[in-house]
């Protein structure tokens, strides 16, 4: 029987043939592709010719293509459309793939070839990009433990395997808790809920096999429920379920897993000669040290705490005026903040949502990229992994540039959050490849026949993820290992957060924020209110983020905690965290940190990048033209197309002429004048 995962993908643009791929294809395909990769690695390591950049580093760039193809499809489905079979595949293959990777890094002959090239790097005649790729390859092998031997090497392999299993368990436990909980919403529980929210809850009920509307733990449903439901007891039930993901006891509890992960990470770092995991992880980032991260977070925290406490006092007074005694709680904040926004800014989100239609916001994101970078978008009719998915061919000057796939709606088979990934990364050598990029979001799906309406925050998320996609689609480097988003973690959020600013451009909203029923543009007065309220509730939003970043840093700096939850509580108490504000991601569902180590000791990176994005957009406001062609060209050349060809400091300085200060962030969030 033919396995489509092992065939050449000859369909349009080399896209995976999703209509032919079955779950039963994955295991045999991965097994065969892994064996092929072992043969490729053995050939590179055992090459009788002296090591050269071409026969070693460039050969490694091209190795594992068959394995990468199969895994790109599987990992995509695991996050965006999982099922019990795929969850078992993830459990089965995570430790095997970890062992496969460990074996490559432990190949002493291969590592010696890289060391030989590294030692002779100044005599090899490499161009800047080749020198960068060599440096990253050498550094990657060293940091993976290639210099270890004997018991230390064996232990490193064991740790990586254990971490792979634990991160899989963490992810699946969180997904179980998110998809397993729902609260029925009979008609007598609709008080305060706008029609669009009841419609979205009805659609969620249909997806869950229920007869009526339900609240789920999708952020796009639970947060607006907390904003509008007049039933404080109902808000408390929903909030507590939202906060308790991964901490409900039993088989899906993540608290012990988090503690074990932190201990293994510390041991891994110390095997490599670092004092702790934070020192190991931050060495390659723009921040460099935990002290620099802490300085940024503490600089932001002080004005944030003042603002958040002042806001809490106002909201608590509003609650008392409603006849509700006692302390403001987490399930009260969104409700009274929404009431306050309506009172102070004359803005009601339920009246705003019809102006933020999903289709129009997609058009807005596309149009901004057309004006800035000359991109064109043509809708494609291709088999994809879910009926909700959409696809476009991306072109410039009539030439194919990329394929962009979008999967916007929440469903039980999708993990929470929003992300961008690549099914294929841009490269020129050893094989030319055009990017295939997808955005995944969790917007509330409307009932059949009704338009999909977004909140303003949802629209920002759409622009944010499309900024990541642009980083991939505009990549123009030679080697895939430094293409697109293959950059330092605290630099990768710059393009995405910077692109959010174009949603706030008045002419963009005036053109694309049109009413779902009347088709009329948002009135100018309403538009000014939307922009004027951009920093409303910034104390809450900044506090929940900084708390998560501070806890993440504390987890990885110094000795690993004996109890992750106790350490979390200690950090929040030391910060003076306002009572009614929780972490944006509490430890048991902190997927950024525990579903893999991508953002471990690095959750701060969103804020580090925000310092840059606030400053970078000022370049456009300084010339009073958000679509200034010279600045757009410089942004593409020096940041979006450059990938990881240079370090972040160099790339940013080439665009802006200098590095920014934290004041840009504080001003952007309205925390200082």
Q: Which of 91-95, 248-252, 529-533, 603-607 has the lowest mean pLDDT?
A: 529-533
What is the CATH code for 251-347+537-603? 1.10.1370.10
Is the per-residue pLDDT at 1 higher than 70?
no
Question: Which one, of 530, 421, 538, 479, lies nearest residue 126 by Cα?
Answer: 479
Question: Does 3.40.50.2300 match the CATH number of domain 4-105+107-144?
Answer: no
> Is the pTM of the predicted complex or chain greater than 0.85?
yes
Listed by start position, the domains of the chain span: 4-105+107-144, 181-245, 251-347+537-603, 354-489
Q: 614-661, pLDDT tens digit by residue?
A: 999 999 999 999 999 999 999 999 999 999 999 999 999 999 999 998
Torsion from C-alpha of 418, 167, 88, 16, nearest 10 degrees = 40
pLDDT number for residue 413: 93
Average pLDDT for residues 550-554, to the nearest whole number? 98
Which segments of 411-561 does DSSP mark as H helices, in order? 456-473, 489-500, 506-512, 524-532, 538-556
pLDDT number for residue 324: 97
| Token pair belonging to 555 | 């987890």
Confidence of residue 663 (pLDDT cuts 50, 70, 90): confident
Q: 413-447, pLDDT tens digit by residue?
A: 999 999 999 999 999 999 999 999 999 999 999 98
User: What is d(CA 592, CA 331) in angstroms, rounded to the nearest whole number?
Assistant: 24
Confidence of residue 602 (pLDDT cuts 50, 70, 90): very high
Average pLDDT for residues 91-99, to the nearest whole number? 96
Is the per-residue pLDDT at 451 higher than 90?
yes
How wide is the angle at C-alpha 585 spanned by C-alphas 409 and 602, nearest 5°? Answer: 105
Is the per-residue pLDDT at 668 higher than 80?
yes
**Nearest 5°: phi and psi at 402?**
-165, 170
Average pLDDT for residues 92-115, to the nearest whole number? 97
Q: Where are the beta strands (DSSP E) in 333-472?
A: 375-379, 390-396, 399-409, 419-424, 436-443
Is the per-residue pLDDT at 505 higher than 80?
yes
pLDDT number for residue 278: 98
* Residues belonging to the active site: 465
What is the CATH code for 354-489? 3.40.390.10
User: What is d(CA 601, CA 281) in angstroms, rounded to the nearest whole number?
Assistant: 7
Is the per-residue pLDDT at 673 higher than 80?
no
**Nearest 5°: phi and psi at 249?**
80, 170
User: What is d(CA 493, CA 500) in angstroms, rounded to the nearest whole number?
Assistant: 11
Q: How far is CA 432 from CA 151, 394, 476, 477, 623, in A?
A: 41, 17, 11, 10, 38
Mean pLDDT, the chain, whole residue set: 96
Q: 16-38, pLDDT tens digit by residue?
A: 999 999 999 999 999 999 999 99
- Residue 298: which residues within 8 A CB-CB, separation 6 or more? none
- What percent of the chain is predicted at pLDDT more than 90? 95
Confidence of residue 99 (pLDDT cuts 50, 70, 90): very high
Question: Which one, of 183, 170, 185, lies nearest residue 245 by Cα?
Answer: 170
User: What is d(CA 655, CA 76) in angstroms, rounded to the nearest whole number?
Assistant: 33
User: What is d(CA 530, CA 533) in angstroms, rounded to the nearest whole number?
Assistant: 5
Is the per-residue pLDDT at 151 higher than 90?
yes
67: number of Cβ within 10 Å = 21
How wide is the angle at C-alpha 173 spanned by C-alphas 168 and 178, nearest 5°? Answer: 130
Average pLDDT for residues 5-23, to the nearest whole number? 95
User: What is d(CA 459, CA 462) in angstroms, rounded to the nearest whole number?
Assistant: 5
Q: 261-280, pLDDT tens digit by residue?
A: 999 999 999 999 999 999 99
CB 546 within 8 A of CB 306: no
Average pLDDT for residues 557-569, to the nearest whole number? 98
Q: 460-493, pLDDT tens digit by residue?
A: 999 999 999 999 999 999 999 999 999 999 999 9
Domains 4-105+107-144 and 251-347+537-603 share a fold: no
User: What is d(CA 39, CA 284) in angstroms, rounded to the nearest whole number?
Assistant: 31
- For residue 619, the surrounding DSSP H or E stretch is helix 605-622
pLDDT number for residue 329: 98
Q: 285-301, pLDDT tens digit by residue?
A: 999 999 999 999 999 99
């Amino acid at each position: 029987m033919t396995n489509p995962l092992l065939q050449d993908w000859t369909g349009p643009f080399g896209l995976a043939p999703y209509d032919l791929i079955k779950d039963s294809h994955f295991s045999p395909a991965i097994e065969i592709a892994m064996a092929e990769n072992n043969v490729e690695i053995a050939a590179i390591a055992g090459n009788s010719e002296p090591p050269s950049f071409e026969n070693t580093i460039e050969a490694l760039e091209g190795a594992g293509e068959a394995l990468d193809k199969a895994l790109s499809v599987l990992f995509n489905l695991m996050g965006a459309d999982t099922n019990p079979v795929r969850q078992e595949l993830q459990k089965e293959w995570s430790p095997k793939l970890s062992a496969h990777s460990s074996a490559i890094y432990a190949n002493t002959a291969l590592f010696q070839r890289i060391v030989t090239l590294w030692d002779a790097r100044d005599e090899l005649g490499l161009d800047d990009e080749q020198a960068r790729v060599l440096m990253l390859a050498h550094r990657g092998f060293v940091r993976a433990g290639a210099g270890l031997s004997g018991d230390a090497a064996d232990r490193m392999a064991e740790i990586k395997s254990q971490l792979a299993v634990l991160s899989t368990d963490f992810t699946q436990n969180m997904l179980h808790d998110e998809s397993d909980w729902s609260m029925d919403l009979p008609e007598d529980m609709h008080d305060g809920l706008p029609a669009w929210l009841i419609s979205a809850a009805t659609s969620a009920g249909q997806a869950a096999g229920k007869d009526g509307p339900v609240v789920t733990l999708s952020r796009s449903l639970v947060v607006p429920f907390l904003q509008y439901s007049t039933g404080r007891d109902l808000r408390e039930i929903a909030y507590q379920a939202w906060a308790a993901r991964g901490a409900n006891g039993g088989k899906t509890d993540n608290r012990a897993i988090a503690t074990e992960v932190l201990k293994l990470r510390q041991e891994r770092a110390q095997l490599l000669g670092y004092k702790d995991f934070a020192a190991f992880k931050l060495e390659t980032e723009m921040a460099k040290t935990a002290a620099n991260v802490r300085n940024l977070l503490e600089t932001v925290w002080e004005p944030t705490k003042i603002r958040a406490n002042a806001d809490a006092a106002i909201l608590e007074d509003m609650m008392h005026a409603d006849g509700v005694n006692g302390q403001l709680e987490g399930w009260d904040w969104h409700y009274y903040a929404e009431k306050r926004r309506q009172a102070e800014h004359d803005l009601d989100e339920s009246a705003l949502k019809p102006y933020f239609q999903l289709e129009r916001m997609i058009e807005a994101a596309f149009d901004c990229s057309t004006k800035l970078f000359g991109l064109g978008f043509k809708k494609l009719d291709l088999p994809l992994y879910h009926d909700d998915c959409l696809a476009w061919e991306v072109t410039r000057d009539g030439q194919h540039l990329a394929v962009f796939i979008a999967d916007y709606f929440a469903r039980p088979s999708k993990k929470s959050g929003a992300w961008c990934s690549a099914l294929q990364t841009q490269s020129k050598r050893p094989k030319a490849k055009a990017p295939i990029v997808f955005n995944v979001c969790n917007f509330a799906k409307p009932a059949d026949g009704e338009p999909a309406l977004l909140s303003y925050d949802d629209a920002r998320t759409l622009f944010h993820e499309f900024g990541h996609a642009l980083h991939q689609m505009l990549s123009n480097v030679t080697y895939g290992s430094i293409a697109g988003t293959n950059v330092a973690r605290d630099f990768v959020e710059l393009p995405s957060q910077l692109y959010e600013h174009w949603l706030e451009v008045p002419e963009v909203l005036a053109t694309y924020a049109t009413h779902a029923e009347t088709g009329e543009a948002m009135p100018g007065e309403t538009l000014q209110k939307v922009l004027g309220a951009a920093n409303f509730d910034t104390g809450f939003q900044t506090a929940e983020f900084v708390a998560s970043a501070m806890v993440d840093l504390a987890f990885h700096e110094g000795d690993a905690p004996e109890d992750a939850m106790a350490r979390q509580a200690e950090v929040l108490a030391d910060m003076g965290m306002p009572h009614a504000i929780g972490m944006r991601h509490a430890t048991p569902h902190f997927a950024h940190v525990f579903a893999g180590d991508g953002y471990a000791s690095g959750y701060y990176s969103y804020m580090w990048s925000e310092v840059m994005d606030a400053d970078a957009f000022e370049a456009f406001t300084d010339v009073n033209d958000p679509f200034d062609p010279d600045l757009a060209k410089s942004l593409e050349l020096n940041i979006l197309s450059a990938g990881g060809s240079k370090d972040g400091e160099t790339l940013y300085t080439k665009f802006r002429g200098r590095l920014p200060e934290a004041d840009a962030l504080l001003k952007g969030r309205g925390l200082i004048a």
